[in-house]
Amino acid sequence: MNPSNATPENNATSLADVSTAWPSLEDTLRVLTLRAGFNTNTVVAGATLLGLAAGVVGVFALLRKRSLVTDALSHATLPGIALAFLAATALGYTGRSLPVLLTGAAVTGVAAIACIQLILKHTRLREDAAIGIVLSVSFGAGVVGLSYIQSNAAANAAGLSKFIYGQTAAMSVADATFMGVIAAAAIAAALLLHKEFALVCFNDAFAKVGGWPVAAIDLAMMTLVVLVTVAGLQAVGLILVVALLIIPAVAARFWTQRLSRLLVLAGALGALSGYLGATASALLPRQPAGAVIVLTAGTIFTISMLFAPRRGVIANTARHARLRLRIAGEHLLEAAHDHARDHPHTPHLDRATRYSIARQRGWHPAALAAITALLVARKRLATTRRGLTLTPRGAADGARVRRNHDLWTAYLIKHADVAPNHVDWSVDQVEHVLSTELIAQLEDELQTQPQTETRART
C-alpha cells in the first residue's frame, strides 16, 4: 500500500457514506439503446462483442477442462507486451503501437501454453503446479520488464500497465472493430468446426482412434482462446479477461446439456454481461467497466447456479429431498407391512413402534412426523384410535417394497455371491429403484418363493 496522503477527515469516511448519483431512467434508456453519443456507443458495442466472443470460446476451454490454463495464458501476455515494446523501441519504431504489443502478447501467451504442456509431459508435476509455475514466473517476468521500461525507456511508456486492469472507457472504434472481427471468427469457427470441436471436447481418445487430427483441432481451439484473451487485454485487462472466458460458459452449463445450445447461450450471456456492464459503467461515475462487466457476469452466474430448472442448486436440492422423502415413506410402509404380518392381532403402528422404527432408520422424530403426515395425506396410512393402520393402497405398497427387498436379497445371495449377513444394507438402497421389467426378470430367473427368505428373517 502506498503511504496514505489522505487527510484524517477523508479517512473518516466509511462504506455507509457511499452515495452514488443514480442516473435517470431517460439516461439509462439512452445508453441502452445506443443513443448516448459516439464514444459511449463504441464502448458498449465493443464490450458486447467481446463478451459474445469470450462466451463462445470459453465453452471449449471449459469442456476441455482448461479454464485455468486460460488464466496462465492471460498472465503470460504481460512479458510479451513488455518485450514487444522494448523490441519495437530498439528498432526505432514507436513502442506503443497496439498491433505490435498484442502480437508480443499472443506470442508469449502461446509459449506459456507450450511450457505447461512440456512440464506435464517431462516431469512428475501435476497440472495445477504446472499452471501455477508458468503463471507466476511469466507474470514476474512481465513485472520486471515493466519496471525496467518505466525507469529506462526515454519514450513515454506510461500506460503499458493498463493491460493489467484494462481501460474499457478508452476503447476506440478500431478496438471495437477488432472485437467484432474476433467475435465473427469465434462464431464462424464454432459453426464450421462444430463437429470436430464437439468430438475432441467429449472424447479425444475416440477422435484420435477415428483418425481425426486431434492436435490440430486442439490448436485451433486454443488459438481462439488466445485471440479472445489478447482482444480482451485492452478492454478489461489480463486478470479479468479470464472471468469473461470462464463465467458465461459455466453459467450457461447450468441451463442445457446440448453443445449447440450451450454455445448460443454462453455467447448470449457473455454479450449480455458486456452490454449491461459497459452501460452501467457509462452511467455511474467511478465504476471501472472491466470490474462491472465481470460482476454482471457473476450475478448472471449466481442466478443460473441457484435457479436453473434442471441442474440448478434449488432444483437439485428439491429433487434430492423428494427422493429421500419417497424412500423414507417406502421404508415406513415396509416396516408397517412387516409389523402387520408379524402381529396379526395388533396390526396398527402405535407410538412406541413408530419410534422404534425411526430409531432403527436414524430418523429424527420431526422427520418421522413429516413422513407420517405425508403418507396420511397420500392415503397410504390412516389414523385410528389405537394408532396408524395401513390403508389398502398402503398395504399394497408396503408389500411391494418388501417383495422387491426379498427378491433383490435372494438375487444377490444366489448370483452375486454376497454373504447373507452383508446384503441387507445395500438392498435397502436398491429396493426403491427396481423397474417392473427387472422385477419380472428377477422372479423369472430366481424361480423362488421370496417368502422363504422373509420367514428366515423373522
Partner 1 sequence: MNLSIATDLFPLLAGILAALVCGLLGNFLVLRKLSLMGDAISHSVLPGLVIAFLLTASRNPLPMFIGATIAGVATALLTEAIKRFGKVDPGASMGVVFSILFALGVLLIEQAAARQIDLDADCVLHGQLETLVWYAAPDSINALFSTETLRDVPRQITTLSIALAAALAAILLLFKELRLAAFDPALATALGFNATALHYLLMILVAAATVASFEAVGSILVIAMLVCPAATARLLTDRLPAQLWVSAAAAVAAATLGYLASIAIPAALDKPAVNAAGSMTLAAGAILTAAILISPTHGVLARAIRRQRLARTVAKEDLLATLYRAQENGQHEVTTTLLKAVTGRSLAATIQDAQRQNLLTIHKGNAALTPQGTHAARQLVRKHRLWEHYLVGKAGIAPDHVHDTAERLEHTNIEPATAQSPATDPHGRHIPPPA
Site for partner 1 in 51-90 (CB under 8 A): 62, 65-68, 70-71
Q: Quick one: 66 or 331, whose CB is closer to partner 1? A: 66
Q: Are 366 and 315 in contact (CB under 8 A)?
A: no
Distance between alpha carbon 454 and the CA centroid of its chain, in Å?
47
Q: H or E stretch including 39? A: helix 38-63
Q: Quick one: 33 or 136, whose CB is closer to partner 1? A: 136
CA distances from 423 to 17, 335, 405, 417 (A): 65, 18, 10, 10
Burial class of residue 23, CB neighbours in 10 A (0-12, 13-18, 19+): middle
Determine if 294 is a binding residue for partner 1 (CB under 8 A): yes
Determine if 257 is a binding residue for partner 1 (CB under 8 A): no
How many whole angstroms separate alpha carbon 62 and alpha carbon 303? 19
Determine if 431 is a binding residue for partner 1 (CB under 8 A): no
Look at residues 77, 213, 216 and name the one whose alpha carbon lies nearest to residue 142.
77
Report the residue from 107, 111, 133, 315 that binds partner 1 according to the rule CB under 8 A: 133
Pull the grid cell for residue 151.
525507469
- Binding map of partner 1 across residues 310-349, x = CB under 8 A, - = no contact: -x-x--xx--------------------------------
Determine if 14 is a binding residue for partner 1 (CB under 8 A): yes
Look at residues 420, 411, 421 and name the one whose alpha carbon lies nearest to residue 450.
411
Candidates 26-34, 215-223, 289-297, 346-354 — which segment interacts with partner 1 by CB under 8 A?
Answer: 289-297
Determine if 129 is a binding residue for partner 1 (CB under 8 A): yes
Look at residues 281, 282, 256, 285 and name the one whose alpha carbon lies nearest to residue 269.
256
Q: Are 235 and 47 in contact (CB under 8 A)?
A: yes
Q: Are 236 and 290 in contact (CB under 8 A)?
A: yes
Least spacing, CB of residue 161 vs partner 1, in Å: 7
Q: Are 74 and 239 in contact (CB under 8 A)?
A: yes
Q: H or E stretch including 381? A: strand 381-384
Least spacing, CB of residue 312 vs partner 1, in Å: 8
Residues 6+ away with beta carbon under 8 Å from 154: none
Q: Compute the C-alpha angle 92/97/103, nearest 5°.
A: 100
Q: Quick one: 135 or 412, whose CB is closer to partner 1? A: 135
CA distances from 163 to 4, 82, 96, 166, 259 (A): 25, 11, 12, 5, 32
Least spacing, CB of residue 152 vs partner 1, in Å: 5
Determine if 195 is a binding residue for partner 1 (CB under 8 A): no
Size of the site for partner 1 (CB under 8 A): 78
Burial class of residue 5, CB neighbours in 10 A (0-12, 13-18, 19+): exposed
Report the residue from 113, 176, 250, 264 that binds partner 1 according to the rule CB under 8 A: 250
Least spacing, CB of residue 217 vs partner 1, in Å: 20
Determine if 146 is a binding residue for partner 1 (CB under 8 A): yes
Q: Are 235 and 179 in contact (CB under 8 A)?
A: yes
Candidates 39-47, 282-290, 414-422, 438-446 — which segment interacts with partner 1 by CB under 8 A?
Answer: 282-290
Determine if 21 is a binding residue for partner 1 (CB under 8 A): no
Determine if 111 is a binding residue for partner 1 (CB under 8 A): no
Determine if 373 is a binding residue for partner 1 (CB under 8 A): no
Report the residue from 56, 182, 282, 291 that binds partner 1 according to the rule CB under 8 A: 291
Report the residue from 24, 94, 97, 123 that binds partner 1 according to the rule CB under 8 A: 123
Least spacing, CB of residue 119 vs partner 1, in Å: 7
Least spacing, CB of residue 301 vs partner 1, in Å: 6
Site for partner 1 in 350-369 (CB under 8 A): none
Q: Is 7 helix (H, G, I), strand (E, B) or coil?
A: coil
Candidates 225-233, 293-301, 351-359, 365-373 — which segment interacts with partner 1 by CB under 8 A?
Answer: 293-301
Determine if 169 is a binding residue for partner 1 (CB under 8 A): no
Q: H or E stretch including 388? A: strand 387-390
Q: Which residue has the cell 429424527?
A: 364
- DSSP states of 312-365: SHHHHHHHHHHHHHHHHHHHHHHHHHHHHHH-TTS-SB-HHHHHHHHHHHT--H
Least spacing, CB of residue 205 vs partner 1, in Å: 19
Least spacing, CB of residue 254 vs partner 1, in Å: 7
Q: Are 257 and 68 in contact (CB under 8 A)?
A: no
Q: Quick one: 11 or 156, whose CB is closer to partner 1? A: 11
Determine if 290 is a binding residue for partner 1 (CB under 8 A): yes
Least spacing, CB of residue 335 vs partner 1, in Å: 31
Least spacing, CB of residue 256 vs partner 1, in Å: 14
Site for partner 1 in 229-248 (CB under 8 A): 239-240, 242-243, 246-247
How many whole angstroms separate alpha carbon 280 and alpha carbon 270? 15
Determine if 119 is a binding residue for partner 1 (CB under 8 A): yes
Q: Quick one: 307 or 452, whose CB is closer to partner 1? A: 307
